[in-house]
Structure 1
């Protein structure tokens, strides 16, 4: 699995690229044709990964009349021992992939199944380019919808329809140093939502004690969060709202926090080895049951501050999500493959990154992780998609009681996850590109908001 471990927008994009860089050439320039009398289902992904390759092999063994053809935009370079390299994809790669696939699907072509992580989902749904999977579920008596998390499904809807099926997801949270907060005498309730303006007041108190608020947050990342929190007002129904006081005030709030020193860009204040340092918080969503335990006892998960502070529940992001092309001639076969990917066996695969949609697979993975923890093998180096993850230092692991409690807390968070964080990557890139000139003082908030408004309007009307 490939993560982008760079500061700034690349750190934020690590979650976005998590799957595209290791799940799915042309990106799906044509639908499948009959192959030796079989029906062919074409799947468009950024780069292939072991989870998908294994799934294709197993599915074809049990469905001899169907061939799954995976079209990848950019092949991963071979690594040692026959694995795949951990080479990160650039933003240009992702943007070209999105543009290529979007053009194909809008023109009535494209693959039968599309990796939707970076796709402009709103545009696809508005143009009726995707199949409503609830319709397919209703006709399939063999599909057990109760095996999946109902809250995740509901939050993944567009209107009353489910046009994109999440296979896995991550929880969008932050890590907080509870010992540091206690030492600084700055209480923060981990069970209560809060806004960035409330964080600003906390950061002031921390600064008085010689501490920083966040250890790895750039202005563009913060803008990303602000836009996602207000996405329906800024981009809803294809009508951009960037030329507004709402957006201009967002930019001003962000700039003020950095100008006043409430936020600092970079990683200088946070210790990744001990979990302690000068910074109270670190952007770090939960991408897997194993990762949730690789954090010392003095750290805990907190809600990520929002631009409004009004949202309840736990926000999540898709790690792996698929849509079915409404122009596909093999919709039933495409649904059969997606249904197979949601089975408990496939969902429990160690190659599927993120939390599975299948409830039984989540329990199984947590049980496996807890057993590793008890056996003392959780911090061993483990192979992953051809690479090797670094061993976790002992001081980065919690004590036994904390491990058990953390698992129960995260299971509860999963059942409460009801805020899907999503947006059109192209819109975000336009906003962040123009926003830099405001942060540097080269242009006013009015000038930048106007530029973003015009560029986004042109893009949405394409």
Structure 2
């Protein structure tokens, strides 16, 4: 599966998550198009056309957006096989320049999706843990068609597999009982416990069971002997918060198919190395304050991350 291949390094899978979430952006299809992938230049051109003077990710402050963006794309600038880094590239400098244009602060009382629906921003960040999120946004958007966009990259969809409360599991080369370790890991990825946590189970069979539950209607028989279909879920999930005004019936096959398509579109992995993210944030501070150029900032990040990677590469 593509979302499994996203964790590979050099064609080999060294670790995988028991469960994951989908991370990206949502936008109106008539503005951002219907494809998941886009480049930074394409996103900037659309923002200049439809939201001039108001760039950014609806509902995220500059610092929050920078952390989120870097977490999801820094792996694109590191070759863990060779230790080479490319944070001093023109592409990364362009990303830094873009981050500087974002809102320094936001209205915490305003829902993220509202920025999008009101036309203030062209994208809003999303993190989806299950098909309920898709069903909820279907209600919120009504007749307005929307598209899930990835993080701007070159040649990828850009939709990321992000971490939930599930750990990433692997077997070390120092393991004295690899068969026993593999038996344990295989059990944790089985269909029997795959849907017991938060997020989407990595096991395909568990994922099928997970979605089948949401496709099963809640019914009861009234006093006239008639079958009545009732709500499946009271309170939709929008911006990862419960919206009590949304009432959801069982998921349709079309909704589940769309959700599987999103899962198959995942080809990035949310980075989980806080050291690299912290380095980037530290170096971005002086740039945001106007004390350093984007190029100087990129060079500083390149120097520090390259040293860190060289110390940890095998």
TM-score, normalization: structure 2?
A: 0.75
Structure 1 residues 250 and 280: alpha-carbon distance in aligned structure 2, compared to 1, 3 A threshold: closer
SS at match of 1:457: helix
Tell me, yes or no, if structure 1 residue 454 matches structure 2 residue 303: yes
**Residue 202 (structure 1) aligns with:** 46
**Residue 279 (structure 2) aligns with:** 430
Distance in 2 separating the partners of 1:392 and 1:224: 24
SS at match of 2:193: helix
Deviation at 1:286, TM superposition (A): 1.4
Task: Name which of structure 1's ranges 410-419 and 337-346 shifts more when overlaid on structure 2.
Answer: 410-419
**Residue 171 (structure 1) aligns with:** 22
Structure 1 residues 298 and 292: alpha-carbon distance in aligned structure 2, compared to 1, 3 A threshold: closer
Distance in 1 separating the partners of 2:111 and 2:272: 31
Do the aligned residues in 1 keep the contact of 2:195 with 2:201 (CA within 8 Å)?
Answer: yes
Distance in 1 separating the partners of 2:189 and 2:71: 31
**Residue 37 (structure 2) aligns with:** 193
Do the aligned residues in 2 keep the contact of 1:230 with 1:307 (CA within 8 Å)?
Answer: no
**Residue 225 (structure 2) aligns with:** none
Structure 1 residues 227 and 290: alpha-carbon distance in aligned structure 2, compared to 1, 3 A threshold: closer
Distance in 2 separating the partners of 1:273 and 1:439: 26
Of the three residues 92, 95, 102, the one matched with 1:250 is 95
Do the aligned residues in 2 keep the contact of 1:218 with 1:264 (CA within 8 Å)?
Answer: yes
Of the three residues 7, 11, 16, the one matched with 1:160 is 11
Do the aligned residues in 2 keep the contact of 1:273 with 1:393 (CA within 8 Å)?
Answer: no
SS at match of 2:20: strand
SS at match of 2:279: helix
Structure 1: 5+ residue stretches without partners: 1-149, 382-388
Deviation at 1:394, TM superposition (A): 2.5
Distance in 1 separating the partners of 2:94 and 2:112: 34
Of the three residues 428, 432, 444, the one matched with 2:293 is 444
Structure 2: 5+ residue stretches without partners: 219-228
Question: Which whole-Å deviations, capped at 9, do the CAs of 1:216-252 have from their partners, x for residues lacking one?
Answer: 2343434653674463434543233334444333322
Structure 1 residues 357 and 228: alpha-carbon distance in aligned structure 2, compared to 1, 3 A threshold: closer
**Residue 176 (structure 2) aligns with:** 329
Of structures 1 and 2, the one scoring higher in RCO (CA 8 A, sep 6+) is 2
Do the aligned residues in 2 keep the contact of 1:216 with 1:265 (CA within 8 Å)?
Answer: no
**Residue 285 (structure 1) aligns with:** 127
Deviation at 1:419, TM superposition (A): 3.7
**Residue 84 (structure 1) aligns with:** none
Question: Which whole-Å deviations, capped at 9, do the CAs of 1:281-316 have from their partners, x for residues lacking one?
Answer: 3211212233332334343441124143x2147442
Tell me, yes or no, if structure 1 residue 365 matches structure 2 residue 210: yes
Of the three residues 344, 348, 368, the one matched with 2:191 is 344
Distance in 2 separating the partners of 1:201 and 1:247: 17
Deviation at 1:391, TM superposition (A): 4.9
Deviation at 1:341, TM superposition (A): 1.1
Do the aligned residues in 1 keep the contact of 2:38 with 2:157 (CA within 8 Å)?
Answer: no
RMSD: 3.5
Distance in 1 separating the partners of 2:198 and 2:184: 18
Distance in 2 separating the partners of 1:363 and 1:193: 26
Distance in 2 separating the partners of 1:298 and 1:211: 23
Structure 1 residues 459 and 340: alpha-carbon distance in aligned structure 2, compared to 1, 3 A threshold: same
Do the aligned residues in 1 keep the contact of 2:7 with 2:15 (CA within 8 Å)?
Answer: yes
Distance in 2 separating the partners of 1:419 and 1:159: 15
Distance in 2 separating the partners of 1:295 and 1:238: 41
SS at match of 1:266: coil
**Residue 58 (structure 2) aligns with:** 215
Do the aligned residues in 1 keep the contact of 2:72 with 2:268 (CA within 8 Å)?
Answer: no
Distance in 2 separating the partners of 1:228 and 1:269: 26
TM-score, normalization: structure 1?
A: 0.53
Do the aligned residues in 1 keep the contact of 2:22 with 2:159 (CA within 8 Å)?
Answer: yes
